[in-house]
Amino acid sequence: RERTLAMIKPDGLLGNYTDKIKTIILESGFGIIKERMVQLDDEKAALFYAEHSGKSFFQSLVKYMTSGPVYVMVLEKPDAVSRWRALIGPTDARKAKVSHPSSIRAMCGSDLERNCVHGSDSPQSAAREISFFFGDISPA
Ligand code: ATP
């Protein structure tokens, strides 16, 4: 078993996609180990996306991620990291609507920035992101 961090971003919460997304998660066989709603401030959003701090879209990304609350969940199942990434689809929600129409980003995202959900990109990122939001929790 493996764990990943899943996040419903502000546009996903505002668009009332939380229940739909949680249904997809449970029907796909993930356990939801922990969950909570969080309002990020500039500092926390910048820290979460620190790897993008030099990019042209960074300020806009921080503004988007602080525009409303996010909903974070620790998901667990075998290959959770890659399974969740496969369910959410490509980063650019506009492209997802064409190439992966049944993906979560196709359902609730708008474009390259406003893509309604996040998923850790590796088990290492998952460990960092899970402790970022939940501190130390008992191992899988
Ligand atoms: P996430 O890490 O949120 O799951 P990702 O791994 O698919 O997304 P990253 O490349 O890590 O994508 O980018 C992090 C987030 O920054 C994206 O989800 C998106 O919201 C935003 N983003 C990425 N690239 C761009 C861009 N070129 N212009 C605007 N926003 C972007």
Q: How many angstroms separate the Cα of 10 from the Cα of each of 61, 63, 125, 137?
A: 11, 11, 21, 25
pTM of the entire predicted model: 0.96
Tens-binned pLDDT, residue by residue, of the chain (140 aa): 999 999 999 999 999 999 999 999 999 999 999 999 999 999 999 999 999 999 999 999 999 999 999 999 999 999 999 999 999 999 999 999 999 999 999 999 999 999 999 999 999 999 999 999 999 888 77
Go through the domains of the chain in sequence order and give each one's CATH number.
2-134 (3.30.70.141)
* Nearest alpha carbon, ligand 1 atom 18: 91
Q: Are 7 and 73 a contacting pair, CB within 8 Å?
A: yes
| Centre of ligand 1 from the C-alpha of residue 110, in Å | 13
Confirm whether the ipTM is greater than 0.90.
Answer: yes
